[in-house]
Structure 1
Amino acid sequence: MSDAEQAGVSKRARPGGRASQVVAAIYAATLEILEEGGYERLELPEVAARAGVNKTTVYRRWPSKAELVLEIALLRVRQDVPLPDTGTLHGDLSKLMLTIAATLQSPLIAGLLQAAMTQGNGIEAINQARIQFWSERFTVSGQLVERAIERGELPTGTSPRQLLELACSPLFFRSVVTGEAFTKDEIFEIARRSILAFKSA
């Protein structure tokens, strides 16, 4: 993990004394392991060892690695995927998609996707963490659709979530299924077609 990332994680965990320092150390250790070996390599006892804490400290707050990764991912995505405001829907959506495409290349987000899709089905805490993560992301990103409606770029009643799902699903498909990257031109075109689909609906 880079010095900047460690500083960012530590800054978010303060203030709060010893407890916040322990959380910051656990976050940092988790990111290091994800970067070294990905989600499959991540094990909570090793997280505890690297963080210099007893493993019961980790298990008490995060009974599974999926819960830990989802929590850190939500914090990181808040920081790494800001809401763009270019003045146009196509500009906003394209910029958001470019940021998402770049973020999907990180080991942390790869771990998030694996946790979100394959881990903890039927485990309430993990289900709730997933719901919280995606609900917050759609609420925040949906503001760019709401602004477009106010500007008259989209019809009243356009669903922000449906538009975002249409535009962003190809990014996640390539990241998870094919492992291929998008070019900027491809992203601009997907954004254009997604907007057009809702304009003509």
Structure 2
Amino acid sequence: MASDTEGQIFPFKWTEVQFVYTIAIWILIASLARIVFTYLKPLKKWFPDSSLIIIVGLVLGVFIRLTLSGDVSLDAHVFFLYLLPPIIFDAGYFMPNRAFFKNIDSILMFSLVGTVWNCFAIGGSLLFLSHYNVFSVQFSTFEILIFSALISASDPVAIIVVFEEIHVNEFLFINVFGEALFNDAISVVIGYKND
């Protein structure tokens, strides 16, 4: 008995590539929307780019939920394989390399020492409060330290956007930008070491 794809040079197997193509189309539409938003000056006056991209993402998410059959969910595999690389590429491509490496000492000081200090300050204060039964639910020391590692990384995206618009001092901008790049990775390492 012959199969449906016999004799075809390129057989059409949508079910095997449906999810990858859906993610690729989502990234393409978001990229095109970002390009269009950069040319819409009156719209940028009232809404920042990030809010418009969030709206596009919500519309695409609702569209995907309504049109695709089956359960569509965002898990860690999809995030790390399809969504994170374009984000990292964008951050690395537009990073001012010369200023970044010129100020790497202060950037590492702020990100490493600041994130570790935040982690232990938050964890220590939460442990102190848990000994006095301040919380309605009892948490273990491990859970408190994992939470403090998660929450200790500050993400100054809004500050970076404002700094770009007002053209703040390059030293201040690159320190905040570099600290934002490194502190997430440092908090992941702290959380992993606690695990």
Which of the pair has the greater relative contact order for Cα pairs under 8 Å at 6+ separation? 2
Does the TM-score normalized on the shorter chain lie above 0.5?
Answer: no
- Higher gyration radius (CA): 2
TM-score, normalised via structure 2 length:
0.33
